[in-house]
Amino acid sequence: MSLESYSLLNCAILTPLVFAVVVCCLPAASAAAIRWLSILGSLLTGVLSVMIYTRFNPQNAGFQMERDVPWVAPLGLSWHVGVDGISVVMILLTGLVGFAATLVAWDVTKRQKEFYVLLMILISGAIGMFASLDIFFIYFFHELALIPTFLMIGIWGSGQREYAAMKMTLYLSAGALVALFGLIALYVGLPVGERTFDVVKLVAFAKGQPFSASFQHLVYPLLLFGLGALVSLVPLHTWAPIGYGSAPTATAMLHAGVLKKFGLYALLRIVLPALPSGAEDWNWLLLALLLGNIVYGGLVAMRQKNFNFLLGYSSVAHMGFAFLGIATFNDLGITGAVLFMFAHGLSTALAFALSGFFFAQTGTREIPELGGLCKRMPFIGTAIVMAAFASVGLPGFANFPGEVMVLFGAWQVKGWGIKAGAATLSWPVIVAIWGGAVLGAVYMLRAVRDVCFGVLPAKWQKLGDANLPAKFPYLVLLGALIWVGVYPRELTETIKPAAIAVVEAMEKTKAREPLPPKPKPKPTPAKRAAKPGKTPARPVAK
């Protein structure tokens, strides 16, 4: 047994922590050494995340690279790590964004040592929360990642940084606390001898003995709102714009790109497989709120004058799409949601990185003060245009296949149809396309016109473009976005078995009491006729 096969995940979690300790021991004056060591640390983590992704065998359903060490056996606590198709993609995202974020952190000029230590801890926490399969450690790593962001915003932020840090702390802690109640309820809801924090065991047990319908009905909202606050589900979203508006670049990238996906990930990993009946009961509410995200978030984004606030509201709007995919409860929608989470992580990190680049020189992100940046910063300007197009779902970027799959998946949900003449239209999809494709284009292209195009104000005549090393992080993110955008099957083949597993688990863990008819759609007869040799449930080999 070689190193890689069973402890690659442990390595990826520990590497940034080790580097954090090493950087901690360096004298604060040796800024170059601190920076290069941190870059090395994030590079190694990135390489490890790519290795985890490439070693992962998409043809095997279930968890891989598992490692299960009992820790507090009486409580059912264990150090259980492992990845399936969903978490492996999220770890890859963390590796890529973490590396890019460390590279763009050159704009941090004060107390660099502390900043990089916190950054390394943040990356470690993010990888840990996606690699863990024990609720205790999932929660622990999430907090480990969150606490550095508060400090980073409060100390290295700009604008109303203390207010922003405070607001974010209170909001996210409250959300996490509510979610914690829900998680503890799951634990307590199990019979005494079977109580465990292990996600795999918990879901497996629920498959045999589902939670009662009333229990699911009560506990699901706790988890939905608790986790929803972490994903900026309307109306629990107001922390996001102000938080990203004040955060230092690297923090905004990692938080908006990676940490924000945690709530969605936990929904898929723990909540849906354990509480499907609750999820179905409350889906009307989730649907209303996520459409609020898409439309209301988009409308508010139109009024923003600060570029980072605009990006913040745009990410609020985009989270609606990820929620929409999850709310379909079918493999197409869920696969699309995970792909969209990956794509959104990259594109939003790219956008924040670019806004950080010009902010370092102009000292402002107020859109009316900017303009014509393409003239002095052709590379950065072009990249902003590309990031904007990625964000509005232009084909060629990874966001497009994600959105398409989410929309097609949502179209299949039977309960959402309305009759129009002889045709059946899905109204949530209509609203979502309007909000995503039209409103999204309006505010994004307005911002691009006002920031990149037009006349360059006299005071910005001396701005400089990125040099080759500074371009590197942007190129990494853009390259990944375009690669997945052109060949999405690279990721969807990995995600698909895990998404199918979620859907299957949901089927089995439904409460056994009489419930309203399930909304799982049947494929159309034509599809069956068109693809006779295709097995519907299990994926075929790549």
Partner 1 sequence: MDDVTGLLWRILAGPLCAAVVIVLICRRSPFYADFSPVMERSAGAVIAIAFLLGSTWFAWMALDAVKTGNVTTSPTYRFIDVGDLEVNVNWSLDRLSVMMAMIVCVVSLCIFVYSVGYMHGDPGINRFFAKLSFFVFSMLGIVFSGNLVMMFVFWELVGVSSYLLIGYWYQRPAAAEAGKKAFIVNRIGDFGFLLGILLVWNVTGSVDFTDIRNYLKAHPAEVSGGVLTIPALLIFCGAVGKSAQLPLHVWLPDAMEGPTPVSALIHAATMVAAGVYMLCRVSFLVFASPAAMDVIAWIGGLTALLSAVIACQQNDIKRILAYSTLSQLGYMVMAVGLSVPQVNGYMPAMFHLSTHAFFKSLLFLSAGSVIIAFHHAEQDIWKMGGLWKKMPITTACFTVGLLALTGFPGLSGFFSKETILGLARERNEDLFTLATVTAGFTSFYMFRALFVAFLGQPRSEAAGKVKESPWVVLGPLVALAILSVIGGYTWMGIPGWLVGDKGLSEAPAGTNVLLLAMLAFVMGLALAVVFYLCGPAEDPVKTKFPFLHRILWNKFGFDEFYLALVKYVQGGLAALCELVDRWVIAGAGVRGTAGVAQTLGKMLQLFQTGGLQTYAFLFAAGLVIILYYVVTQ
Query: Which parts of 352-381 interact with partner 1 (CB under 8 A)?
Result: 372, 374-375
Q: Say if residues 381 and 448 touch (Cβ distance below 8 Å).
A: no
Is residue 489 involved in binding partner 1 (CB under 8 A)? yes
The number of residues that bind partner 1 (CB under 8 A) is 71
> Of 273-302, which residues contact partner 1 (CB under 8 A)?
296, 299-300, 302
Query: Residue 466 Cβ, how far from partner 1 at the closest point, in Å?
Result: 15
Please, are residues 194 and 238 in contact by the beta-carbon 8 Å criterion?
no
- Least distance to partner 1, CB of residue 482, Å: 11
Point out which residues pair with 425 in neighbouring strands: 418
Closer by beta carbon to partner 1, 155 or else 456: 456
Looking at residues 1 to 30 of the shown chain, list those that interact with partner 1 (rule: CB under 8 A).
none
Shortest separation between residue 351's beta carbon and partner 1, angstroms = 17
Q: How far is the CB of 332 from partner 1 (least distance, A)?
A: 3
Q: Which residues of 61-95 are buried (b: 16+ CB within 10 A; e: fewer)?
A: bebbbebbeeeeeeebbbebbbbbbbbbbbbbbbb
Residues 146-175 binding partner 1 (CB under 8 A) are: 167, 170-171
Pick the binder of partner 1 from 56, 141, 197, 400 (CB under 8 A): 400
Pairwise CA distance, residues 43 & 480, whole Å:
16
Nearer to partner 1, 238 or 362 (CB): 238
Q: Which is nearer to partner 1, 18 or 441 (CB)?
A: 441
CA gap 44, 310 in Å, rounded: 33
Stretch that binds partner 1, among 19-27, 37-45, 138-146, 485-493 (CB under 8 A): 485-493
Nearest to partner 1 of 17, 334 (CB atom): 334
User: Does residue 303 interact with partner 1 by CB under 8 A?
Assistant: yes
Applying CB under 8 A, among 23, 405, 484, 502 the residue interacting with partner 1 is 405
Q: Is 64 helix (H, G, I), strand (E, B) or coil?
A: strand
Dihedral, CA atoms, 330, 335, 340, 341, nearest 10 degrees?
A: 100
Least distance from partner 1 to the Cβ atom of residue 66, Å: 25
Q: Toward partner 1, which CB reaches closer, 69 or 537?
A: 537
In the structure, how many helices (H) and strands (E) does the chain have? 25, 4
Distance CA 219, CA 223 (A): 7
Distance in angstroms (rounded) separating the CA atoms of residues 108 and 158: 11
- What whole-number distance in Å separates Cα of residue 432 and Cα of residue 425? 13
> If binding is defined by CB under 8 A, does position 421 make contact with partner 1?
yes
SS3 letters for 140-176?
HHHHHHHHHHHHHHHHHCCCCHHHHHHHHHHHHHHHH
- One-character DSSP codes across 264-302: HHHIIIIIHHH-HHHHHHTHHHHHHHHHIIIIIHHHHHH
Q: Minimum distance from CB of 506 to partner 1 (Å)?
A: 15
Distance (Å, rounded) from C-alpha 118 to C-alpha 116? 5
Amino acid identity for residue 119 in this structure: L
- Of the two residues 127 and 429, which places its CB atom closer to partner 1 in the complex? 429
Among 139, 411, 416, 460, which residue interacts with partner 1 (rule: CB under 8 A)?
A: 411
Nearer to partner 1, 76 or 298 (CB): 298
Residues in region 428-457 near partner 1 by CB under 8 A: 429-430, 433-434, 437-438, 441-442, 445-446, 448-449, 452-456
The residues in 58-117 that bind partner 1, with binding defined as CB under 8 A, are none
Among 73, 422, 458, 468, binds partner 1 (CB under 8 A): 422
- Closest CB to partner 1 among 94 and 330? 330
List binders of partner 1 among 323-342 (CB under 8 A): 330-332, 335-336
CB 414 within 8 A of CB 519: yes
By the 8 A CB rule, do 484 and 398 touch?
A: yes
User: Which residue number, 192 or 420, has a Cβ lying nearer to partner 1?
Assistant: 420
**Window 204 to 243, contacts with partner 1 (CB under 8 A):** 235, 237-238
